[in-house]
Amino acid sequence: SQTIHQWPATLVQPVGSPLSLECTVEGTSNPNLYWYRQAAGRGLQLLFYSVGIGQISSEVPQNLSASRPQDRQFILSSKKLLLSDSGFYLCAWSPERYEQYFGPGTRLTVT
């Protein structure tokens, strides 16, 4: 069966510090991968998606970036965090354009 991991689970970072969130998927190959952010009490905002290694599409211009160095690894990064980057970050994978399977999420607080 397939599983999706995200780490860390929680993170508190000062403004201006770098960020690296990691997501890995097990039990499938060539998944579509997605990064979402949820602000408090809000819906899902798609940040990036990837249909293959090295193929990244950005949905919202901001100070975040994503990379997919391996087939089942998706990394979200920032060189300098802003207060507005606080939120709940969710990674998801999908077989083609069907349902998505979400990770447990990372709660990021920028102070």
Partner 1 sequence: AQSVTQLDSQVPVFEEAPVELRCNYSSSVSVYLFWYVQYPNQGLQLLLKYLSGSTLVKGINGFEAEFNKSQTSFHLRKPSVHISDTAEYFCAVSARGGGSYIPTFGRGTSLIVHP
Which of 42, 62, 63, 70: binder of partner 1 (CB under 8 A)? 42
Strand partners, 76: 21, 66
**Contact code string over 2-41 relative to partner 1, x by CB under 8 A:** ----x-------------------------x---------
Q: Which of 3, 40, 9 is nearest to 22 (CA)?
A: 9
Dihedrals φ, ψ of 85, to 5°? -80, -10
Q: In this complex, which beta carbon is closest to partner 1, that of residue 3 or of residue 17?
A: 3
Strand partners, 90: 36
Binding site for partner 1 (CB under 8 A): 6, 32, 42-44, 46, 49, 51, 59, 88, 90, 92, 94, 96-105, 107
